[in-house]
Amino acid sequence: MARALGPQALERTRGVRVAELERFHRNILDKAMKKQSLKIGEEARILVNNTLGKMSLGSSFSVEKNDGTKVSEFSIKLADLSQMFCVAQIFHKPLEKVGISLLKKQIMDVSHKFEELLENILVKYEGKMDNHQSTEFMDALMAAYRDDNAEYKITRNHIKALLAELFFGAGESSSSTTRWAMGEIFNNPRIFEKLRKEIDSVVGNTRLIQESDLPKLPYLQAVVKESLRLHPVGAVLPREFTQDCNIGGFYIHEGTSLVINAYSIMRDPDIWEDPNEFKPERFLTASRSGQEDEKKEQTLKFLPFGAGRRGCPGLNLGYTLVETTIGVMVQCFDWEIEGDKVNMEEGSGLRFFLDLAHPLKCTPIPRIIKS
């Protein structure tokens, strides 16, 4: 994954993200000029999937032919199944012993269609490899796939599974975070104005926000972190013990499933002051101090991406995508929402991703129009 998500890889693919962010801005601006409403989650999902597709597959991933939209449609179907899939994941071992397989048919139907789409994209990629239109990430995967003597042999299905996980995991998590954050921003005009003022002071009004601006936008970073604290993408973190051990006097057998309630940890009143209130300022002090002990303590109570060796490898990319997306929407547009406030009710049931119960539908009003 370092080939795709490491610091050097992200620097080499910065141009892709710039181009897709500009496309995202133009798309919203077009709808604003036509006075059309939009669903922020859908727009953010397509942006992220287009970006990931171009980063990993280059020109083989066609934005013009709506590959990003097609991938997003499968992500939505998988997310709809996730409520029962989480239950199936927890209870699959005991249920299999009695011959019960939850959701197998539904998951396989979606999986086969998703695989067909990814196979078509892979075929296009292979046809362009000799024309120097390939990417470092996919070249490494294809080399391992074709090398019979590779230390770790991978199959074509492995490659498609990795791409599916990349699109579903990153696409859904980033779009979900963007929805929650914008909902909180809309419901807190003071925060909206403070955030816009920070962006204007750093970026100005003659260009779009860029990734290089993010280190100089601590309040934007704090807004995203506070949204992740209140509305973590993964409300629970499943793990499995790889060996027998004793914890707190309790014997834990190898293979035992463990579920960490990150949602409760990040709303624990013993850890957080006013835990149920949206207060981005709580992250400003921590980010400025930079003390090592404080960072370690923060890691144990702020768990939106997990922690340690099993933490999300796409953390840096995730922050970058969400912060620039929110930055563009705050910098370039005013927004009309339905009703006085956004309904922040959470979707019911166990899911892969914590999401709003109702779509965040609103109408953009252009503030900055680039010629």
The 10s digit of each residue's pLDDT in 4-13 is 677 787 888 8
Q: What is the pLDDT of residue 181?
A: 97
Buried b (16+ CB within 10 A) or exposed e, 310-337: eebebeebbbbbbbbbbbbbbbbbebeb
Give this prediction's pTM.
0.85
**DSSP-assigned letter for residue 309:** G
Q: What is the pLDDT of residue 371?
A: 39
pLDDT in tens, 127-136: 877 665 567 7
Is 205's pLDDT higher than 70?
Answer: yes
For the segment 29-33, the average pLDDT, to the nearest whole number, is 95
Rounded to the nearest 5°, which phi and psi values hold at 365? -125, 120
Asked if residue 74 lies in contact with residue 110, where contact means CB atoms within 8 angstroms, the answer is yes
Specify the higher pLDDT residue, 79 or 122.
Answer: 122
Asked if residue 232 lies in contact with residue 262, where contact means CB atoms within 8 angstroms, the answer is yes
**DSSP-assigned letter for residue 347:** P
Is 75's pLDDT higher than 90?
Answer: no
Rounded to the nearest 5°, which phi and psi values hold at 366? -65, 135
Single out the residue of 356, 136, 320 nearest to residue 220, CA to CA: 320
pLDDT in tens, 303-361: 888 777 777 777 888 999 999 999 999 999 999 998 889 999 987 655 556 778 788 99
Banded pLDDT at 289 (limits 50, 70, 90): very low
Helices first, then strands: H and E counts in the chain: 14, 7
Q: Please name every residue paired with 334 in a beta bridge, in sequence order, or none if there are none.
A: 365
Q: Specify the range with the lowest mean pLDDT, choosing from 55-69, 87-101, 232-246, 251-265.
A: 87-101
Q: Is 194 exposed, middle or buried, given 0-12, 13-18 or 19+ CB atoms closer than 10 A?
A: middle
Strand runs (DSSP E) across the chain, as ranges?
38-39, 236-240, 245-247, 250-252, 257-261, 333-337, 361-366
What domains appear along the chain, each with residue ranges and CATH number?
2-357 (1.10.630.10)
Specify the higher pLDDT residue, 232 or 128.
Answer: 232
Report how far residue 45's alpha carbon sits from residue 20's, in angstroms, rounded to the nearest whole number.
12
Angle of helix 156-187 relative to helix 189-203, nearest 10 degrees, comes to 110
pLDDT in tens, 144-189: 888 888 777 888 888 888 888 888 778 888 888 999 999 999 999 9
Calculate the CA dihedral of residues 143, 174, 352, 49 and round it to 10 degrees. Answer: -50
For the segment 36-54, the average pLDDT, to the nearest whole number, is 91
Size (the chain), residues: 371
Chain mean position to CA 239: 20
Rounded to the nearest 5°, which phi and psi values hold at 61? -90, 110
